[in-house]
Amino acid sequence: MPEIWLKYGSVEVAVELKRERLEKVYSDPLPSFDNSQVEQELQPIRELNEINLLVGDYESSTIDFLRFITNFIPSTKICVLSNENVLKVLRKFLKDTRIDFSKTDGEKVPVSIVDGAQVKVSQTIAKRNLILVSSVGFDPLYGFRGSTTALLEFSDEQLKYEAIKRESELIPRPGKETSAGWFLNRIVEELKEINGIEIVPGKDGFSKIFYGKIDAVHKRAVEELLKNSSKNVEKKIGLAIVSPGEEIKCSNLNSALNSLWNIMYACEEGASIVVLAEALDGLGSEALKKYVYTGFKVESVLGKAYIEGLESLYYLLQARQKYDLGVVTTLPKTFVEKKLGLKSFQSGNAAIGYLVEQAENRKKKISIIVRGDKTLLYA
């Protein structure tokens, strides 16, 4: 009986499954660290007396890169600027480094008009010679994360509403070109004078980086991500358990659900899918909180306003009608089962026990996805 270890927050859980019940294990698809490539890309900034990094996310790969660059350029002053949400996490994980942290200017100034929408960004971007730092990944609304979504952290909230309203059909499409993603790409083109570092995640942090104009580095990073992480399944999955693969991605329900969107189209309708979502930080989005605590109608907001995490909540409400969904989580059972309509499990083996029961009834086998946040499955 093989024992498979899956990341569940800050710990790992063992999943025991008889071989005859196991369909396939989708292991970590990411490459190892490429030291020579990283050093070559960083050469243009090696001689600078001061490096100002505008950091747009707190991905594990981003944190690992920031730690790396302080050792790679030991005599250079490194300043990291971001909003308070990102800085809170960066300070926690990088408190032992010599990085100077600073909060970006909250005031937004107009810089352009894109597709009829006014684009406003933080004054900090206009004031200083900055390098935008972000990690590439999959996103259900924009297709991909990276330079494009990082800029949203320093832009007017109205841009998220403008992006989502351009989607004619609101369905999760990670790894695809979307109308919302096109809108962000157009904004990046308007701000193309900004240089960026886009980081490609790796098995133990990050594997490669690309440096240059933000529109160019985003394209290169997306190509590298797809090359490593996009997998075609031989037949659609009927039963699955999926781990986001990183502590941060498992810290709240909203983040953990991105692993579900990444594999959903490789699953047959009616498939039983369990996501590991420890969720020590709770639900993770304003939309989920509002829905759980007040039961508000999503349709009453769509197309009229934007609440943070609205799209993921809408995806979930639609997906639970087509799939048998469950989570291994510390969230109250009342939230998960009564409010969200999902199955709730207290352990990985409890979830496997349920899937084994389904396997016997349906004569199907169970697939295990080890790194759901960076594994894109399609059929």
| Percent of the chain residues past pLDDT 90, beyond the cut | 68
Domain-ending residue, one of 227, 257, 284 = 227
pTM, entire model: 0.93
Verify that 290 and 165 share a domain, yes or no.
no
The 10s digit of each residue's pLDDT in 94-129 is 998 999 999 998 788 888 898 888 888 888 886 668
Verify that 338 and 323 share a domain, yes or no.
yes
Verify that 213 and 343 share a domain, yes or no.
no
- Average pLDDT (174-187) is 94
Verify that 319 and 222 share a domain, yes or no.
no
**What is the residue range of 187's domain?**
35-227
Domain-ending residue, one of 189, 211, 227 = 227
- Average pLDDT (244-257) is 92
Confidence of residue 10 (pLDDT cuts 50, 70, 90): confident
Verify that 25 and 40 share a domain, yes or no.
no
- Average pLDDT (203-229) is 95
Cα–Cα distances in Å, from 116 out to 12, 105, 187, 301?
A: 48, 25, 12, 22
The 10s digit of each residue's pLDDT in 364-374 is 999 999 999 99
In the prediction, which pLDDT does 46 show? 86
What is the C-alpha to C-alpha distance for residues 328 and 332, in angstroms, rounded to an integer?
A: 11
Average pLDDT, the chain: 92
Count the domains in the chain.
Answer: 2
Verify that 80 and 155 share a domain, yes or no.
yes
Q: Which CATH number characterizes residue 337's domain? A: 3.90.226.30
What is the C-alpha to C-alpha distance for residues 202 and 190, in angstroms, rounded to an integer?
A: 30
Verify that 155 and 265 share a domain, yes or no.
no
Q: Which CATH number characterizes residue 106's domain? A: 3.40.50.11440
What is the C-alpha to C-alpha distance for residues 45 and 132, in angstroms, rounded to an integer?
A: 13
Domain-ending residue, one of 227, 243, 263 = 227
Lowest mean pLDDT among 106-120, 236-250, 272-286, 287-301: 106-120
Helical (H) or strand (E) element with 209: strand 205-213
Confidence of residue 293 (pLDDT cuts 50, 70, 90): very high
Verify that 351 and 223 share a domain, yes or no.
no
Verify that 277 and 212 share a domain, yes or no.
no
Verify that 217 and 279 share a domain, yes or no.
no
**Going along 83-194, which residue ranges are E strands?**
100-103, 108-114, 117-122, 131-135, 137-139, 143-145
In the prediction, which pLDDT does 14 show? 82
Verify that 248 and 339 share a domain, yes or no.
yes
Confidence of residue 189 (pLDDT cuts 50, 70, 90): confident
In the prediction, which pLDDT does 323 show? 97
Verify that 190 and 266 share a domain, yes or no.
no
The three-class DSSP label of residue 16 is strand
Instruction: Tell me the torsion sign for CA atoms 60, 373, 363, 232.
Output: negative
